[in-house]
Structure 1
Amino acid sequence: MHVAETGVGSFLVHKLQQLSQLPCVLAEDGAPIQKGHIYIAQPGKHLIVSKEGIKLGVGPAENRWKPSIDILFRSAAAAFDSRSVGIVLTGYLHDGTSGMIAINNSGGTCIVQDPNEAEYPDMPLSVLNHVEVNFCVSLMKMGAVLEEVLQQEVQHKSVPEYVKTEAAIAERLATGINVL
């Protein structure tokens, strides 16, 4: 999950923890990814995931956002192929669309909030206009859909080379690494 650069990270972690049985934490650089945990991007830092764990980057904004959900989604698609799940909720502009395309093309699952109930429908509408999503549901149904998705057997699909390349470039820019 990502939040605005100005940050409500700790507040969001606290609120989510009250509503979820899963542990919710602010992502920490170098931390391993643990099954059944919810990681929140730190304000002003890109969140990148890999099989090795979590990386945080302070590189430039992407699509005007830092953290950018596109960077997170592309890294998830490249690392976890058809096991990746992207969820886009209410929000301005089109952050999330490019990342959801990567998840979709890698065989992952794309879930979008019904734009008719979104306070700011730009992000869900952008995804719906560019990606054949698996689910477009209300927030009230989101938990049940996610639970269903996580219990399904996943068919392995290879990650397209362009997704791996875009994820590597985004990671390099976000973390300031100058080699590919």
Structure 2
Amino acid sequence: MHRDLVVVGASAGGVEALRAFVAGLPADLSAAVVVVLHMPAGGSSALAAILARSGELPVVAVHDGMPLEHGRVHVAPPSFHTVVQDGVLRLSRGPAENGHRPAVNVLFRSAALVAGPAVIGVVLSGTLDDGTAGMAAIKTRGGLALVQSPEDALYSGMPDNVLRHVPVDHVVPVAEMGALVGRCVGEDVLDGAGPVSEVLRMEVEVSRDDAGAGFGDVPRLGRATNLTCPDCSGSLVELPAGGGQYRCLVGHGWTPEALLDAYDGGLERALWMALRTLEEKTSLARRMASHSRRGGRELVAERYDSQEQEALAAASVLREHLLKPVLREEAEA
């Protein structure tokens, strides 16, 4: 057998990287290519049209049940996971992963499950640790791992995290990636896929549209935590996967960095709500002090003045914290 399924994941900075990647793919590629780019839910995507102008291979947007075809680039549409299943691509409204649908990890895991050593995984520019868990599954099943050089990527988070947690086979600039894939596709490989773990099978089942499939195994295969899911506020279970993976009981999946980032966003929203409350308290205390003075209740007015000043001081501290500039080095640290 030879490697004939190429799965590609990207996020921030991914359009530029994907254009360069597709431009380098040989016109006679004897493998199917499937691409997931993290994108906002809803609406439409012009990615397939953009990539069609970038290289020699035909590029199509995935529809449910589309057969995998050699020499073609299949692009995941927004709002649906793209899952490899029995030689075709299925679209699923399964639970979001790291807040994304489509998600790189979903595509990678499903490819690892059904194709084993025939898979080549490619991670390009993106933030946080998306793609790491999926690439680990590909390697466990005997597939090949290719990563864009972090210094070549507009956003190095995804490549860096894969390199830290997965034994990668090749690290190259994206301009060289397409030609490298062409050479790797031609290699013969032993049909010796690694074992399918219960966790991998469960996570692929959860990502599909099969009602209830795999969900009962989430608490059985994992360890309960005191963490909550940012998507649904349900309890998170820690799964025994490389680098740490979390799932809630309805299936939302999170990696550690994505979970921390989501908590940061929730904290900022809470702080803005607190600032709004303080501003409203300031305004109300001022109105009540004025009303008390008009009624000749000076002592009451002074108490409201004190509350206004306390709220103003607290709001000033909170506003300064929210609006202060953050240096890039601090953010990356």
Distance 1:63 1:10 in 2: 20
1:53 aligns with 88
TM superposition shift of 1:10: 3.9
CA distance in 2, matches of 1:140, 1:107: 26
2:206 paired with 1:172: yes
Q: Which SS does the other structure have where 1:48 is aligned?
A: strand
Q: 1:97 aligns with which of 121, 124, 132?
A: 132
Shift of 1:165: 4.7
Residue 76 (str. 1) matches residue 107 (str. 2):
no
Distance in 1 between the 2:67 and 2:166 partners?
A: 30
For these two proteins, the number of residue pairs brought into alignment is: 179
Aligned to 1:18: 53
Q: How does 1:3-152 map to 2 (within 5 A)?
A: 3-6=37-40, 10-152=45-187
State the Cα deviation string for residues 125-149 of structure 1 (Å, max 9, x = none): 0000011111100011111101100
Identity across aligned pairs (percent)?
34
Q: TM-score of the superposition, structure 1-length normalised?
A: 0.91
Residues 53 and 126 of structure 1, relative CA distance in 2, 3 Å threshold: same
Higher helix share: 2
Task: Tell me the SS of whatever aligns to 2:133.
Answer: helix
Unaligned runs of 5+ in 1: none
Task: Confirm or deny: 8 A CA contact 1:65 1:95 kept in the other structure.
Answer: no
Tell me how large the CA RMSD over aligned residues is. Answer: 1.8
- 1:158 paired to 2:193: yes
Q: Which amino acid in structure 1 is aligned with residue 47 of structure 2?
A: L
SS at match of 2:96: coil
User: Deviations 1:113-136 (Å, cap 9, x if unpaired)?
Assistant: 000111110000000001111110
Contact 1:9 1:26 in 2 (8 A): no
* Structure-2 separation of matches of 1:149 and 1:52: 20
Deviation at 1:14, TM superposition (A): 1.1
Shift of 1:6: 2.0
Shift of the 173–81 alpha-carbon distance from structure 1 to 2, 3 Å rule, reads closer
* Contact 2:147 2:170 (C-alpha < 8 Å) held by counterparts: yes
Query: Which of structures 1 and 2 has the larger relative contact order (alpha carbons within 8 angstroms, sep 6+)?
Result: 1
Per-residue CA shift, 1:14-46, capped at 9, x if unaligned?
A: 121112221111111111111121111111111
Q: Structure 1 residues 34 and 9, CA, compared in 2 at 3 Å: closer, same or farther? A: farther
Q: For 2:170 and 2:163, locate their aligned partners in 1 and report how far apart those are by CA, in whole Å.
A: 10
Q: Contact 2:81–2:207 at 8 Å: present in 1 too? A: no
C-alpha separation between the residues in 1 aligned to 2:202 and 2:68?
19
Opposite residue 26 of structure 1, the aligned amino acid is A
What TM-score, normalized to structure 2? 0.51
C-alpha distance in structure 1 between counterparts of 2:162 and 2:93, whole Å: 26
1:41-89 CA deviation, whole Å, 9 max, x = no partner?
1111111002241111112211222111111001001111100011000
Report which of the two structures shows the higher radius of gyration computed on alpha carbons: 2
